[in-house]
Every structure is written in structure tokens, then in C-alpha cells.
Structure 1
Amino acid sequence: MENQTQIFGIRAIIEAINSGKTIDKVFLQKGLKGDLFSELESLVNKSSLNRSYVPIEKLNKLTKGNHQGAVAQISPIAFYNLEELVIQVTESGKTPLFLLLDQLSDVRNFGAIIRTAECTGVDGIIIQKKGAAPINGDTIKTSAGAVFKVPICKVDHIKDAVFYMQASGIKVIAATEKTNDSLFDISFTEPSAIIMGSEGRGINPSILKVVDAKAKLPLLGDIESLNVSVACGAFLYEAVRQRR
């Protein structure tokens, strides 16, 4: 069965994946066995879809139908191809500004970031297929509809996107407290891509090793960190300020 944002039932999800539907996340029941369920698991793995193993109570909350141990969320948007988007932006004559999100998991933070990205002229947002927040009703609402206006790409690994940006002449800047360099000492006047990390872990250390620059925000109070969507807004508006 299917509604606007969800599919449930093992065979229905298999058919949806095979038909090319844009699946945002698949929830699978913990400990479930069976040939058809194993077929779905293999297809999810082969398609590199974002998945979570959850107790049956979680699935029961997601849908009142006969889910058979599997529920999939359909993305309300079509995702862009990263290479095509970068080429399109660089050939347009403008100075590119991209945003990479390293496994940001909170849908409201994601929505708020998309809204700010639209307001600051970001050319595209890149997220990872696994571990990223889904694009659901909460994301759409928090973004105030901006999710339909900003191109969003999904990649297997954020590090691959970093390397592609660098090969395309785009400087990659990590927003991290693990540096002595201030945000206000970094130039955003050239083609740039900003990386924001997840709410708890921040940016993956392996990604920090390959970026072109790192920058942090000055924190003058006792709290040691900002909400990621607030920090992202500060970075994006510094880029806007420098480019005006």
C-alpha cells in the first residue's frame, strides 16, 4: 500500500525500489526472518538506501496498515546528480556556494538549514545516502517550502563529494571547533563549499583531514557549542557579507 509519503508491505516496497521510486528511508523490523524479507534486505543494501532496524512497536506507530515488518518513506522531491549540478552552476558564470551536511540527523535542523540556504543563495545541498535526516513532512514544514527550491543531491559518501568539489576548483571549508582559525578570517569570495557536521559528533575526522580550510565561530558565553542550524546560518551569512 502507499500514501503520499509512505509505502508499507514487503512486496510493495520491493516493487517501489525496482520501479525507481525515490526512497528516502526504509524501516525494517528487528529479528524478522523469511525469504521475501531477505530479498528486501538485499535490495535495500544493493541500492544503498538509508535503513534502520526497529522494534515492531515503531512500525505500528508509523502505519496502521499491515506493514509485514517493513515501512518505507518516499521522498517528496527528486534528487539532483552532483556532477551535473556542479557543472551547471560553474558554467552559469556565478561564484558557486555549496553546502555539505555530514550525516545531520534531525529533520527540524535539516529543514531550518534548507530554509537558510535558500535565503542565502546556496546553489545546492549535498547529503549522504545513509545516516542523513529524511525529507518528510517536518522537514518541509520547517523549511517553509524551501526544500522545493534548493537542489539537493545524495551521495554514497560525503568524502567523495569533497574530492569532486576540490577537483572542480571549489574550496571546501569545514565548520568545526577543532581549529584556531576564525570564520571571519576565511575568504568565501571564491567558489566555496561549507561542511556542517552532525548534531552530536560533528564532522567525521576522516573528512576533516582532506578539507581545504577549517573555521570556527567565536563563543563568548559558557555554552560550548551552537545548534547546528544556527551555526550554519552564521557561516552562510558571512559568505553573503563577503560577496556583497
Structure 2
Amino acid sequence: MVERYRRGKQKTPLLGNHQKCWVWGRNVVLETLRVWNWPILELYCSDQLEPDEMEVVHVLAKQNDIAVHLEPGASLHKRCHSSEHQGYLAKMTAFPYAESLPLLTQIIESKKCPLLVICDAIQDPYNFGALIRSAEAFGVDGVFIGSTHQVGVTSLVARSSAGAVNHIPIARTEDLEEIINVAKRRGIQVLGTSASSGIPIFECDLKNPTALIIGNEGCGMRNSLCNHSDHLVRIPQHGEVSALNTAVSAGILFYEARRQQELQKQNLI
């Protein structure tokens, strides 16, 4: 049986939420500037950046009509409380989450074989960011997260995703069960995941429209979501370590789904 994580009032903020107004690091800041899906309020760069680096920043900033503030590296460190800014720092607006049901409808109507991920109470921002990075790499069409017990898109998530949060739609909802039920009614198979029980993922037919539920790092999926799933799947393991990291597991699942779908396109399976 899949364990239920503890409910109740969340006493402490999830890791990374205290830094949610700032994004830093070369790759994520430049990618955010390029895409401009997540608008920047203020942009700061180190006054020690190389001229060619500053040229890239100024071109992107001009395209988005935002000023570039040059400051010593120590000042950037003071603003974001991190020495890993690499000379790039942005103060952000609130992350632009998509509306869950309209996003689900849009994906179903526009994609021939959609692949979705539903995150159930993933709390570590590094895990969540790495999951989003893998989801974007393997062409996942949308990420759906709950509004409680779930880390949102913060600075740490954005950095861990290497900027992938700018390229994949992420919706936040108060009712994941509604998303699951609507998806099932629209012909999407919903697969829950488990570390120890269920169908081995390599034996599961993933060639059809699929939504994968990724559970909490410690407790897995809630029983209620497990009961709404069409099947439970697992990743066979052969080593001594009992479970894979959440983001690693998700990456394997995404890859296998897209592998099967690509082979089907080539009439190989």
C-alpha cells in the first residue's frame, strides 16, 4: 500500500521559499531574459563581466525594455545571500502558473499523444527543479502541482531546472484529483508510481496518452490519488539501495514513455 504523508498545517516554509523573489546564475537569468515568459522586475549584473557577456545582456534587456544595473559582486551576494550568482541576478514577478483545467484541455486538443506529469507533494526544490529539467528535455507537455505540501517555482527550483521552468507550462491547482478524473475522461491513462509494487515500467504500454503521478520523496503518493490511478508502475532495480531519487525516477519514466512513442511512430513496436 502506498503510504499517506502527514497532513495538517505546514509549520515551516518549504526549502527555497524564502528566496522566491530572486533568480541568480548565468544560465537561468539569460534563459529567463530570452524567453520572457516570467517577467523580470529588476536586473543586476556584476561590473566585472567580460565585454562580450555584457553585450549579450544588454541586447536581451533592450528587447524586453528593462534596465541593467551594474554592481560589484559583493553587492549581488548581499542581495541574494548566495555566492553562486556568477554575476547575474534578477528580481522576479510572481511565477506565471497556468490555469490547470484550461491547460489540460489545450494539451489534449493540440497534442496527438500527450505526456503529462502530476506532482504529489514534492517538497525539495532541487528535486522539483531537476524533475522539471528532465520533463522539458523529454518533451513532457505539462506539469501539474498541488497548492499545498508542494514546493512551488522558487529561485532554487528555477536554478535546479537550468531555466527549464521558462519552457514548460506549469499549473497549480487545489484539486489534483479533479485533474486526474478529467484526464481519464478525456482518454488519458493515469499511472501512479511506487518504489516497490506495480507493473514494471518496461512492461507497461506507454504509447497512448499518459499522465504520470510522481509522489512525495519520503512517503510516495497519497492513497486517494493511488485509488484514482488506472495502474501502479515501478522501476525495476538491481542494486542494494532501496529507492531512486525522485527526479532520477521521473527522468527514467519520461524517457521510457517517449522511447515507446518514438518507436511506435517508426512502426517498430
With the length of structure 1 as denominator, give the TM-score of the two structures.
0.68
Unaligned runs of 5+ in 1: 7-21, 23-62, 65-73
Give the superposition deviation at 1:175.
Answer: 1.3
CA distance in 2, matches of 1:223, 1:209: 28
* 1:88-114 deviation digits (Å, cap 9, x = unpaired): 122224211100000100000000000
**What residue is the counterpart of 1:110 in the other structure?**
128
Relative distance call for 1:4 and 1:204 in structure 2 (3 A) is closer
Q: Is the 8 A contact 1:105 1:133 kept in 2?
A: yes
- 1:189 correspondence with 2:207: yes
CA distance in 1, matches of 2:236, 2:93: 37
Secondary structure in structure 2 of the residue aligned to 1:209 = helix
Q: Runs ≥4 in structure 1, deviation > 3 angstroms?
A: none
Which region of structure 1 is more displaced relative to structure 2, 128-137 or 228-237? 128-137
- 1:136 correspondence with 2:166: no
CA distance in 2, matches of 1:100, 1:5: 25
Relative distance call for 1:224 and 1:75 in structure 2 (3 A) is farther
2:164 to 146, 158, 181: 146
Matches within 5 A, 1:59-70: none
* 1:39-63 deviation digits (Å, cap 9, x = unpaired): xxxxxxxxxxxxxxxxxxxxxxxx9
Relative distance call for 1:238 and 1:4 in structure 2 (3 A) is closer
Give the superposition deviation at 1:226.
Answer: 0.5
Matches within 5 A, 1:148-227: 148-227=166-245
* 1:140-192 deviation digits (Å, cap 9, x = unpaired): 11101000111001111222221121122111001113524100111111111
Secondary structure in structure 1 of the residue aligned to 2:143 = strand
Give the superposition deviation at 1:4.
Answer: 7.7
**What residue is the counterpart of 2:59 in the other structure?**
none
Unaligned runs of 5+ in 2: 1-18, 23-37, 39-79, 82-91, 263-269
- Counterpart AA for 2:247: S
- 1:234 correspondence with 2:252: yes
**What residue is the counterpart of 1:34 in the other structure?**
none
CA distance in 1, matches of 2:242, 2:224: 23
- Counterpart AA for 2:205: S
Relative distance call for 1:140 and 1:217 in structure 2 (3 A) is same
Relative contact order: is structure 1 or structure 2 higher (C-alpha 8 Å, sep ≥ 6)? 2
* 1:175-218 deviation digits (Å, cap 9, x = unpaired): 11352410011111111100000111100012111101111011
**What residue is the counterpart of 2:61 in the other structure?**
none
With the length of structure 2 as denominator, give the TM-score of the two structures.
0.62
- Count residues in correspondence: 180
CA distance in 1, matches of 2:170, 2:177: 16
- Counterpart AA for 1:217: I
- Identity across aligned pairs (percent)? 30
- Counterpart AA for 2:152: P
CA distance in 1, matches of 2:20, 2:159: 15
**What residue is the counterpart of 1:5 in the other structure?**
21
Q: Is the 8 A contact 1:75 1:135 kept in 2?
A: no
